[in-house]
Amino acid sequence: MPTQIRFVEPMYALAVRKLPEGPDWLYEIKFDGYRCLAGKDAGGVRLWSRRGNDFTSQFPAIAKSCEDLPIGTLVDGEIVAIDAEGRLSFNMLQHHRSQASAIRFYVFDVLTFAGRDMLQEKLLKRRDALTDAMRPIRKASSVVDISQTIAAPAADLILAVTELGFEGVIAKRLDSLYESGERSGAWVKYKINKGPRVRHWRLHTGQSVRRRDRRLLPRRQVTLRWKSACRLCAARQARDHGEDGTPEDRSLSVCQSPREEKDSMGADKGGNERLPVVKS
């Protein structure tokens, strides 16, 4: 009998004052947006907020893109808005009905994959399943994508996040299970910037950068490569780099390495859930 997808309370990150280091941890960018779970079963697609409120009608473009998920799949991620200058905008997110083209959904975990419960699987295995689940969506949509992980020393990562204006960093233990509703410390969040001010860059290892950007990070550790996340930046990229982009070029993301295909953990602003209010 087909699996009926139901809401599962998401796992939360514990706030810390020092970012943990070592080979047992995986790093992700912390975005400032709305936590969202998206599920598909035989009845269609549903979106839920972190508290279980229905988001489906409020974000129709995301729901439409998630129709390409396998039946019996539930994913966890963050809804954000990107303005014309490439910055994250919580204000635009609150007024998303009039700013639909700015909305993006970055997925970082999978709770159920094609009817299989993934909650007791370790993080890396869930990430592999997430890549499989998201492959059809990534080919067809620029609205929904995987939020990627980062391979970099903690000090360099903090420097990059500070310079680029992301809200902070999420660190997850590689062996962590998905603990629904828990803040166990297997996931932690390290906040850096109070105000989102994101530019269209992607962290890479071993890639070249333009001269004026080399001041941001030590070249031998982590370098930056410009990527587009909106029409304005796409035009600039076409001018500077040629029109050879892929769907990845339209995403705002931070990647780990060539072995992993394009995930971010974040909380609703201030840790509270507030549904967008639209004035008529």
Provide the annotated active-site residues: 30
Rounded CA separation 166/27 (Å): 13
DSSP assignments along 44-100, one per residue: EEEEEETTS-B-TTT-HHHHHHGGGSPTTEEEEEEEEEB-TTS-B-HHHHHTGGG-G
102 CB-side CA count, 13 A: 21
Q: What is the distance between the alpha carbons of residues 131 and 137, in angstroms, rounded to a whole number? A: 10
State how far the alpha carbon of 43 is from the alpha carbons of 52, 76, 182, 257, in Å. Answer: 18, 19, 29, 37
Please return the burial class of 233, using the count of CB atoms within 10 Å of its CB with bins 0-12, 13-18 and 19+.
buried
